[in-house]
């Protein structure tokens, strides 16, 4: 995208998980044209009026945005409007140009935050929430912006947020793990690994809340509005950001592959997804800069896996394997959810079109088979689940060797 970050992004030390600890919910009145459109997005999309409203939007300056949180909120609003604008017609009426009044401020803000100008996971999950009551928690959570789909849409974003929040203890344990490796603290290391395993198990439990909120047809609809314009048959050249670039640009859409938490645990546990490593590396460019730096610092540090293997300690091996096993189980559950709420509804959609005597529109087929991040998502999910399982089998084999010797 345009350049490097010019904003001092809050330290990860401020919160034990990667979610934003305090959310800005309002912008100065000057930005009411953005906030009003974003707040009414479901209605405008369903009525096929969004593109008309965007055409009326004035070109606003970004100079009145103050601080990181206002920038994140403005980017969130413009990101939702952008995705709705591009995919208002599903796969049938794609656009080639993002209007100047939307493209220019969106790209300017994205440059300041060192993020690409497309809605990413860190926007729609980590920054898209608020509390109705400042003293409440889960029962008081709500989202700031949405696409058509009602409560199912809300549930998808909030459950994803709760999954991230459940990882807090595991993220908090990482500095303890690194310090234990450096100082050969086997007891503290084993305890910290137990914290990581427990937090990943809690992520899976939080994921189960999806069944309370979701309806398969609405989840598939949300999947459509998160679709990328990179490696996408429907937008082979990408999207022109009017007033910013003369040629089209291609960017991946938001997906769980951009979860800083999941990639952090992969790096911590030394899990190498050989078939998907290049793609996952690319996804780090879609994370906030502070998250990328955290993961890179962890990757350049001492290897937890090699340390555990070198000790030959049965307790450490067991604690390590519980972490890997929990992560594999989480990914298996993700596959189950994706099958129930995206793959099966997409198949029903195609079947219904055929029963009505019409051919299946190619756009529907493409959007149902590819993830929002541009991958063949079921193949991708199964690949990373399988490599996670192999990492567990690998360390078990070495442990058996130690026992034999």
Q: Report the alpha-carbon distance of residue 34 to residue 31 in Å, rounded.
A: 6
CA dihedral 279, 280, 286, 291 (to 10 degrees): -160
Q: Report the alpha-carbon distance of residue 8 to residue 145 in Å, rounded.
A: 25
For residue 87, how far is the Cα from the chain centroid? 19
Task: Cite the DSSP H helix spans in 114-241.
Answer: 121-124, 150-166, 168-182, 186-207, 210-213, 216-225
Which tokens belong to 174?
Answer: 């990482």
The backbone torsions φ and ψ at residue 98, rounded to the nearest 5 degrees and listed phi first, read: -90, 120
User: What secondary structure does DSSP assign to 122-155, as a single string?
Assistant: HHHTTSS-EESSTT--GGGEE-S---SSHHHHHH
User: What secondary structure does DSSP assign to 88-100, as a single string?
Assistant: TTTTSS--SEE-H
Does 334 carry a binding-site annotation? yes
Buried b (16+ CB within 10 A) or exposed e, 287-321: bbebbbebbeebeeeeebbebbbeeebeebbebbb
Q: Report the alpha-carbon distance of residue 236 to residue 94 in Å, rounded.
A: 11
Burial of 353 (0-12, 13-18, 19+ CB in 10 A): middle
Q: Which residues pair with 131 in a beta bridge?
A: 141
Burial of 60 (0-12, 13-18, 19+ CB in 10 A): middle
Radius of gyration of the chain (CA): 22
Burial of 261 (0-12, 13-18, 19+ CB in 10 A): buried
CA angle (131 as vertex; 33, 45 as ends), nearest 5: 40
Q: Which among 232, 227, 212 is positioned nearest to 341, based on CA atoms?
A: 212
Which tokens belong to 312?
Answer: 């030959």
> What residues are designated binding site?
334
Task: List binding-site positions for heme b.
Answer: 334
């Amino acid at each position: 995208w345009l350049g490097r970050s010019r904003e001092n992004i809050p330290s990860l030390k401020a919160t034990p998980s990667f979610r934003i600890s305090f959310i800005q919910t309002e912008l100065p009145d000057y930005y009411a044209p953005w906030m009003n459109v974003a707040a009414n997005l479901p209605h405008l999309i369903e009525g096929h009026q969004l593109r008309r409203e965007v055409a009326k939007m004035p070109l606003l300056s970004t100079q009145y945005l103050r601080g990181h949180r206002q920038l994140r909120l403005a980017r969130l609003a413009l990101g939702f409007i952008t995705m709705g604008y591009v995919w208002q017609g599903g796969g049938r009426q794609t656009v080639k140009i993002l209007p100047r009044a939307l493209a220019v401020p969106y790209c300017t803000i994205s440059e300041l935050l060192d993020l690409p100008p497309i809605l990413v996971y860190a926007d729609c999950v980590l920054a898209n929430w608020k509390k109705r009551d400042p003293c409440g928690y889960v029962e008081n959570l709500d989202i700031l912006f949405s696409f058509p789909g009602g409560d199912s849409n809300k549930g998808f974003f909030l459950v994803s947020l709760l999954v991230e929040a459940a990882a807090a203890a595991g993220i908090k344990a990482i500095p303890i793990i690194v310090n234990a490796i450096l100082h050969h603290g086997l007891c503290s290391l084993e305890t910290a690994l137990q914290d990581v395993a427990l937090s990943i198990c809690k992520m899976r439990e939080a994921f189960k809340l999806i069944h309370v909120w979701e309806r398969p047809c609405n989840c598939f609809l949300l999947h459509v509005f998160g679709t990328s314009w990179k490696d996408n048959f429907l937008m082979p050249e990408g999207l022109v950001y009017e007033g910013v670039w003369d040629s089209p640009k291609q960017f991946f859409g938001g997906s769980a592959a951009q979860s800083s938490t999941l990639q952090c645990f992969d790096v911590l546990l030394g899990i190498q997804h050989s078939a998907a490593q290049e793609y996952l590396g690319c996804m780090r460019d879609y994370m906030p800069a502070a998250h990328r730096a955290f993961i890179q610092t962890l990757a350049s540090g001492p290897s937890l896996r090699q340390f555990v293997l070198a000790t030959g300690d049965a307790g450490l091996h067991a604690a390590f394997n519980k972490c890997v096993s929990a992560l594999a189980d989480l990914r298996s559950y993700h596959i189950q959810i994706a099958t129930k709420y995206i793959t099966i509804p997409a198949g029903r959609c195609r079947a219904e079109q055929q029963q009505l005597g019409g051919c299946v529109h190619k756009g529907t087929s493409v959007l149902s088979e590819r993830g929002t991040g541009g991958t063949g998502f079921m193949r991708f999910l199964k690949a990373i689940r399988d490599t996670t399982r192999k990492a567990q089998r690998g360390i078990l084999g070495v442990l058996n060797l130690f026992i034999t010797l």
